[in-house]
Chains A and B, each alone.
Chain A
Amino acid sequence: MAAFTVARSGGRFLRGLFVFKGLGTGRYGPAVSAVRSVTQQQMRSFCVGHLSVQERIEKKRRAALVGGGQKRIDAQHQRGKLTARERIELLLDPDSFVEYDMFVEHRCSDFGMEADHNKYPGDSVVTGQGRINGRLVYVFSQDFTVFGGSLSGAHAQKICKIMDQAMLVGAPVIGLNDSGGARIQEGVESLAGYADIFLRNVTASGVIPQISLIMGPCAGGAVYSPALTDFTFMVKDTSYLFITGPDVVKSVTNEDVTQEELGGAKTHTAVSGVAHRAFENDIDALLNLREFFNFLPLSNQDAAPVTECHDPSDRLVPGLDTVVPLESTKAYDMLDIIHGIVDEREFFEIMPNYAKNIVVGFARMNGRTVGIVGNQPKVASGCLDINSSVKGARFVRFCDAFNIPIITFVDVPGFLPGTAQEYGGIIRHGAKLLFAFAEATVPKITIITRKAYGGAYDVMSSKHLRGDVNYAWPSAEVAVMGAKGAVQIIFRGKENQAEAEAEYVEKFANPFPAAVRGFVDDIIQPSATRKRICRDLEVLASKKQTNPWKKHANIPL
């Protein structure tokens, strides 16, 4: 009964609003019959002979809850996938989901689609809003059991509705994608639906965080909605993203390729960079998404969240004093530094398997969300190349759009040389990272741990790009290039190269040249880095900086 009263009172301002309690018909059943016993008597007096409205409501609701029916639900489970509703229930706080448009049905009348058995209340998507750890989020979850989750005009309309609402109130949208593609029976109606969603993805971009979790197929034009959102996550082995499937590929290019190879989680997280992270299974993915959501502000009007923190902000990290090897050619793991500095060693890495020469992800400092960017000396010496520049740039822009301070750890020997890079356009791709750091107005803190060579030094959130606080560790070397190369140019053809090299090292392979010019604000002991950053973030919390008015900037795409 409680569920029903809430629904009624809620209905005053939101038509069709329904509090979804429990899972499936099993739990809903008794509630329905209880309702019916009261209402049937009242209704019967003036609705004799017909199915009362109340009964029809209940019937539709029950139908909506089972989607494409038990058989298809079982099939979905057999594929190792959960149903659209099960996913929502796992994602959101218990009893917090408020469903919209349960009664919406598709409007197609061709190919026998108008038949009653082809109509499913709610059609092939479940939409609504709810809470993750008490914070508002809008959700749509495509229902593969109804026409394979295909996108009809009604399906698109439902998604658009919650996106519009999310924009009005300023709350993130999470899409759980599991759809075979367009509803072919509907033709252009379906295509129009996609476009309506794309438009909303674009207008919402930078206003509210948008997250896509691919939990089944997502093919054809449909892929562009996740591609437009801020983050795309995938489920290993059960999700695919591609423009054209293996059959079409075979007929056009005669390539033999499996779904997994073409567009599986591994491909997109390691090769194409389309997806930001993959998880083991549906449950793992949804639980991780909850964790991830806690890092994000609700909208661009909200500050980055601050959670209760047990890790002392003035904690010294003695291990950092020895993390950078004495030989400047030797690699180390930037993650050791990041884990040591952030709260509770918790780091939600974004794209951990793609362009591994740069590390990006979210963490907290004294409870406050921060975005972390770091060169990874362990992979390709931490150089910047096309993929790492683009990976870094996109992450920096997200942080800037959503008021998340950026902490940058620099150990970069420069941009990767070679024809592959030049032909691939490292100039314009590298410019993206430069652009992103330069335009960012959120608090920016930079720590040069070792090398900061050449143009890459400028790019990596340097003082010159409005870095708020720039530190150098004693092991920092800020220079145009490494000693050997520099000496070969300055003293070309001269003898005593070794001596010249030693002189160059003495002059430049230390933090002083940058420090005397004020390009770094201080040379700090590595073990005190956490303490310093936490203190700076507190100061910078009230930072206000705006770029000149423009329609939008023109980042070199």
Chain B
Amino acid sequence: MASFTVSRALQRVLFGLQRVSFKSRCHVNTTVSQYSTVYDSSEKTFDKILIANRGEIACRVMKTCKKMGIKTVAVHSDVDSSAVHVKMADEAICVGPAPSNKSYLNMDAIMKAIRQTRAQAVHPGYGFLSENKEFARRLAAEGVTFIGPDTHAIQAMGDKIESKLIAKKAKVNTIPGFDGVVKDAEEAVRIAGEIGYPVMIKASAGGGGKGMRIAWNDEETREGFRFSSQEAASSFGDDRLLIEKFIDNPRHIEIQVLADKHGNALWLNERECSIQRRNQKVVEEAPSTFLDPETRRAMGEQAVSLAKAVQYSSAGTVEFLVDSRKNFYFLEMNTRLQVEHPITECITGLDLVQEMIRVASGYTLRHKQADIPINGWAVESRVYAEDPYKSFGLPSIGRLSQYQEPVNLPQVRVDSGIQEGSDISIYYDPMISKLVTFGSTRAEALQRMVEALDSYVIRGVTHNIPLLREVITHPRFISGDISTKFLQEVYPEGFKGHQLSDSERRELLATAASVFVAAQIRSQRFLGNLRVSGSQQERRRWELSVELEKGVHAVTVSHSGSTYTVDLDGMRVDVSSEWNLASALLPVTINGTQRTVQCLSRNAAGEIELQYFGTSYKVRVLSKLAAVLSKHMPEKVPEDTSSILRSPMPGSVVAVSVRPGDTVAEGQEICVIEAMKMQNSMTASKTGKVKSVHCKSGDTVGEGDLLVELE
């Protein structure tokens, strides 16, 4: 890669040239930086592929299959029978009931579906059976191609202990730690003492942050050992744990590799995935702001040498932790297509799914390392159905009553497997979509992300757009000063939503007042009704009171045409819009600045909920008279919740550790709720006696359900 050694100024020119040559050679016809599937009809691959997955990744794989002229088979659980991936596929087979271990992990049923549909190959997507060597072995036994690496590589890399040993041998930098299985909590404490705190306890078979705990002392080690082994057992059916040095304040940067069955391997540059919560990625970007060409190449070359060491074929990802001095350590290798693969596709122009299919059918790689460009910048936001105000995201469920992806914006890619009317259930990952934006520079990509997030309409479930928008507009993120502890450091008290500046607050209040007036004016417009008072002139001036978070502002609104002039605390704000009150998106021009606001709800009592800067604000707009009189309205006392423990999310009860009559101390564990395979310990908010227990182990509970009552 000559380009990486030349000066920065030259790089741009070179990248530009590379892009042109790359495009012309591969007949790219999509817009800049979109991945492109180059279908060569002389290259015969498969006639029919079964996709052993659901949701967005199943849809993503099918898109490429369709472009390559390959028939697709979907498998699905009974609750997914009208899911998007089922509709998209040429054939669909139900493989069992909702719980994934009875459907998407049900190998017997999936094998049967393969035989029934005579699919020649299986793409496993990510998660589920994607890194299951037994599945790969069974496919091989029946002569069906597994679109992924062979069993040997899956096994070698799937085991954290073994993979580390192999990595060491392949001269890949590794983290200091204990290379073996930890038997019990006491041994864990001993080993932790030897390595030195902090340590990371993680499942040997793990991935995706599940079964992973950080411990800073002996007590936390014991507790972490217990939780991790339970989680590991329930998520992977394998409770073996290992311990290693926890690298404080690291970045998580990974290298995409692509290898064929003929010993060729490429690195497709890095992805920066440092923005995480509970070890799960939230925002990813490619390339990383942190890597210089030398480090990038060093990481890439180590990744390739690891891939070669295990005779890797197909697409894979080598994850590294990078410390502030750009030392990097091998973390693990994911032997599958990653969730965040689109950003690599955006900057390289490759279609990774297509390359996986080609490689699986035995073709050699079409590219040389020098062909792999970095074209511009791509950012991915994982849009989740979860409440970002609770530990940066606790799962939420519901029906997407309204759903509109911002795909009409330029340079935006949305990978999703849901549509308006879809249900986000407790059974599967609560991801709504992967929102990817790209541009020739990082700033451009981020600006598009802001616009895309603002224009993304999601109603019916709580989502994490408020958090995503805050992260990508945070000065630290913009300057590239990030680490895996970004969220804890930036929001030590937990995420509280966008904090309004004075002028933003004014704009918000003015917009709310304008929406109110627009609605009032419209409610006086009756068509063809002769019995409406003719003498009444349309009001030109409105005296209102606008309330936001206990702050009350006197406001006057006057309007001419579609422009509302709002006088607020002596400041003038002009708000203009088409005032289409039925549209989910409300494009407004506030003092000449265009913004996309969403009106989430509006009711007769003057409560208007606006999504503004990604965060939703409840504003109350009243006429001046109503505001004056509202001081007489009785205060409604909310329920005292300190003695009540409610489920913060939908999930199932794993354990209840108290019985009625027990005395509990503040902070004592009361029960454990498992949601989306994460175990959450529910603790008492005060010291007291247990009055009643409303759940038992094995129950399914909804958000807000009463679990335990204290006296």
Contact = CB atoms under 8 A, between A and B. Distances in A.
Contacts of B605: 279-280, 283-284, 287-288
A367 B525 CA distance: 10
Contacts of B403: 319
Contact of B633 (A80, A134, A294, A333): A80
Interface stretch (A246-254, A301-309, A392-400): A301-309
B27 to A, nearest CB: 34
B636 A135 contact: no
Nearest to B624: A94
Contacts of A320: 421
B421 A318 contact: yes
B150 to A, nearest CB: 38
A280 B582 CA distance: 26
A90 B625 contact: yes
B604 A318 contact: no
Interface in A63-95: 77, 80-82, 86, 89-90, 93-94
Interface stretch (B374-382, B466-474, B494-502, B526-534): B526-534
A294 B636 CA distance: 29
Contacts of A292: 604
A167 to B, nearest CB: 15
A80 B632 contact: yes
Contacts of B419: 318-319, 322
Given A287-B604, A287-B626, A318-B421, A93 B536 contact: yes
B82 interface: yes
Given A86-B629, A310-B583, 6 more contacts: A93-B536, A133-B532, A237-B636, A288-B605, A305-B529, A321-B82
A320 B421 CA distance: 7
Interface stretch (A335-343, A452-460, A508-516): A335-343
Interface string A282-299: 111001101110100010
B580 interface: yes
A344 interface: yes
B400 interface: yes
B401 interface: yes
B531 A310 contact: no
B606 interface: yes
Contacts of B401: 319, 336, 339-340, 345
Interface in B503-557: 522-529, 531-533, 536, 539
A344 B532 contact: no
A413 B412 CA distance: 47
Contact of B625 (A89, A284, A294): A89
A290 B519 CA distance: 13
Interface string A120-138: 0000000000010111100
Interface string A137-176: 0000000000000000000000000000000000000000
Interface string B593-626: 0000000000011100000000000000011011
A468 to B, nearest CB: 22
6 contacts: A283-B605, A318-B420, A322-B419, A343-B582, A345-B402, A367-B527
Contacts of A202: none
Contacts of A135: 526, 529, 531-533
B634 interface: yes
A306 B604 contact: no
Interface string B162-181: 00000000000000000000
A97 to B, nearest CB: 12
B81 interface: yes
Interface string B222-257: 000000000000000000000000000000000000
A336 B580 CA distance: 22
A131 B533 contact: yes
Given A135-B531, A310-B580, A343-B582, A291 B604 contact: yes
Nearest to B580: A310
Nearest to B522: A308
A238 interface: yes
Interface string B628-655: 0110111010000000000000000000
Which of the four size classes fits the interface of chain B?
A: 35 or more
Contacts of B623: 94
A126 B531 CA distance: 24
A281 interface: yes
A459 B397 CA distance: 36
Nearest to B420: A319
A340 B531 CA distance: 31
Contacts, number: 128
Contacts of A321: 82, 421
A323 B419 CA distance: 12
Nearest to B84: A322
A311 interface: yes
Which secondary structure characterizes the binding site on chain B? loop
A288 B604 contact: yes
Interface of B: 78, 81-82, 399-403, 419-422, 522-529, 531-533, 536, 539, 580-583, 604-606, 622-623, 625-626, 629-630, 632-634, 636
A254 to B, nearest CB: 31
Contacts of B632: 77, 80-82, 282
Most buried by A among B81, B522, B531: B531
A139 B401 CA distance: 39
Contacts of A344: 581-582
A308 B527 contact: yes
A298 B531 contact: yes
A326 interface: yes
Contacts of B421: 318-323
Interface in A13-61: 23
Contacts of B422: 319, 322
Interface string A242-286: 000000000000000000000000000000000000011111100
Contacts of A284: 605
B582 A237 contact: no
Nearest to B83: A322
Nearest to A315: B582
- 9 nearest interchain CB pairs? A319-B421, A80-B634, A291-B604, A311-B582, A310-B582, A319-B420, A308-B525, A77-B632, A134-B532
A281 B634 contact: yes
B80 to A, nearest CB: 10
A292 B526 CA distance: 15
A145 to B, nearest CB: 13
A555 B679 CA distance: 59
Contacts of A319: 399-403, 419-422
Contact of A82 (B78, B580, B629): B629
B582 A136 contact: no
B532 A307 contact: no
Contacts of B525: 307-308
Interface string A95-108: 01000000000000
A50 B78 CA distance: 91
B531 A136 contact: yes
A133 B606 CA distance: 16
A336 B529 contact: no
A326 B629 contact: no
B581 A283 contact: no
A280 B633 CA distance: 9
A94 B532 CA distance: 15
Contacts of A339: 401
A131 to B, nearest CB: 5
A321 B531 CA distance: 41
Contacts of B524: 133-134
Nearest to A79: B634
A131 B536 CA distance: 10
A96 B78 CA distance: 60
Contact of A133 (B82, B523, B528, B580): B523
B405 to A, nearest CB: 12
Contact of A294 (B81, B523, B531): B523
Contacts of A312: 582
Contacts of A280: 605, 636
Given A135-B532, A306-B528, A326 B81 contact: yes
